[in-house]
Amino acid sequence: MYYVYKNNTTMEQTLTPEESLQIIQKSISNLRNNMREGSFYYLTWGWALILASLSSYFVIEHYIKIEQYQKINIMSLLTWSIFIAAALVVQFIVRSRSKKRDRVMTHLDRYVKIIWILAGMLMGLMVFLSLKVNTYPTPFILGVTAMATAVSGLMCRFHPLVFGSVVFLIAAIVAIYLQGTQQLLVFAVAMAFGYLIPGYLLRASKNGNNV
């Protein structure tokens, strides 16, 4: 039994093992194509988070230099909020427009979507808990990102994303042993190699190059 979703309708069929294998392979192909179309999201979030982390780094260093420690947390959170809000707005606009196009959505697409939704919720929880215990959430966020990126890359068999997940995991381990502001620099580098490079390679494969 296998279900294929298209235009919000569900089709149910009884299939042979050979037909099931073909549909699974087609689902992986559709997932990869949809991720190629969605390379914009990796680039948007990659740039937004890099700019947010670097801006936060310079804000913290500035207020430390002028010894206004009470403003550090507020200004750092404000910096992150601005870039994350901008990325969310851009994502909402692009997603609203893409819904108008005819796209084939399979179980794999829905699983990847659910994984990233849960990862986002877990990251939010990590930030909240880190603030409560007065520590930086960077290693935990990088670890969750590594997991979600690895699953996405493995499900669509796109090696650059798998490589990106390894970068995130290594960065998470490195960040544990660094000071808070140094963690922000590691975070920015990890986003460059984990999101931007795979994102641009996805875009290149969309334009006809194989990766």
| 211 residues of the chain, pLDDT tens digit each | 444 444 544 445 565 656 555 655 666 666 666 666 667 888 999 999 999 999 999 998 888 887 777 777 788 889 999 999 999 998 888 877 766 555 566 676 778 788 888 998 999 898 888 878 888 889 999 999 999 999 888 877 788 889 999 999 999 999 999 987 899 999 999 999 999 998 888 888 755 455 5
Q: Provide the whole-model pTM.
A: 0.79
Cα 151–186–49 angle (5° rounding)? 65
Q: How many CB atoms lie within 10 A of CB 107?
A: 14
Cα atoms in the 13 Å half-sphere on the side-chain side of 106? 17
Structure-block tokens of residue 106: 């399979």
Tell me which amino acid residue 32 is.
R
131-158 pLDDT, tens digit per residue, is 788 888 899 999 999 999 998 888 777 8
